[in-house]
Amino acid sequence: MLGKKLVTAQKRGETRALCLGLGMVTCSMMMYFFIGITIVPFYTKSVWTTETMCKVLKANIKDKVLCPNSKGSEEEDIFPYPCLQVWVNLTASGQEVMLYQTEDTLETNPKCSYVPGKSENSKEVKARIETIASNFKKYQTFPCYYDPGGTQTNVILSRLYPPKGLLFAFLWPTLMFTGGCLIIVLVKISQYVSVLSAWQ
C-alpha cells in the first residue's frame, strides 16, 4: 500500500515537473517572438552602427519650439521647449554635423539635438536642457555613432538598442529555455530509470 502511494506521488511530481519545463519552454518561445517583432526591427533599421569620436564645435539653445510627444498625437500633447542644437566635428570624416541624442530624436524633431519628455513644469525642462548644454561644453570629446554608408550625414550620441542590449534581451529567454529543456530531460531520465528498476 505504501509502495503504491510512493509511486503515485512520484508520478504526480514528475507530471508537475514536466509541466513546469514545458511552461518554461513555451514562455521562452513567446519572449523570443516578442523580442523578434519589437526590438530586432529597430536594431536592424538603425544605420548608425559605427562608433567614433566627436568633438563639440558649438552647443546653442534656440528659441522654444513646438513638438508633438509622439507621431499622430493630439494637440494637447504638443508642448513648447527650448531647442538645443549641438554641432560636432566627426573624427572619422572631419565633417561638421549635427548631433542627436538617439534615433528617435531625429524622427521626433530634426531641428533639435535633444527632445525632452512631456512635462508640465517648463522650468525643470529648461534647467535640464541648460545642464545638458553645459555638459557638452565641459566635455568636448566623447564617443558617438555615425552611418558608415553615408545615408545619414548626422550622428547620434547613443543607440536605443546597441548590440550588448540586444544580447542582454535574448539572455533571459535563453536561460529560461535552457532551464525548461533541462527539467524535461531530467524528468525523462527519471522515468527511464524508474521503468528500468521496475523491470529488473
Mean per-residue pLDDT of the chain: 82
* CA atoms of 134 and 113, how far apart (whole Å): 14
Cell 504638443 locates to 78
Residue 5: partners with Cβ closer than 8 Å, 6 or more residues away: none
Q: What is the mean pLDDT of residues 117-140?
A: 82
| pTM summary value | 0.69
> Among 44-48, 71-75, 80-84, whose mean pLDDT is lowest?
71-75
Q: Between 75 and 87, whose confidence is greater?
A: 87
CA separation for the pair 115, 118 (Å, rounded): 9
Please give the pLDDT value at position 127: 86
Nearest-angstrom CA–CA distance, 1 and 104: 68
> Could you give the CA distance from residue 90 to residue 154 in angstroms, rounded to a whole number?
9
Going by pLDDT thresholds of 50, 70 and 90, the confidence category of residue 77 is: low
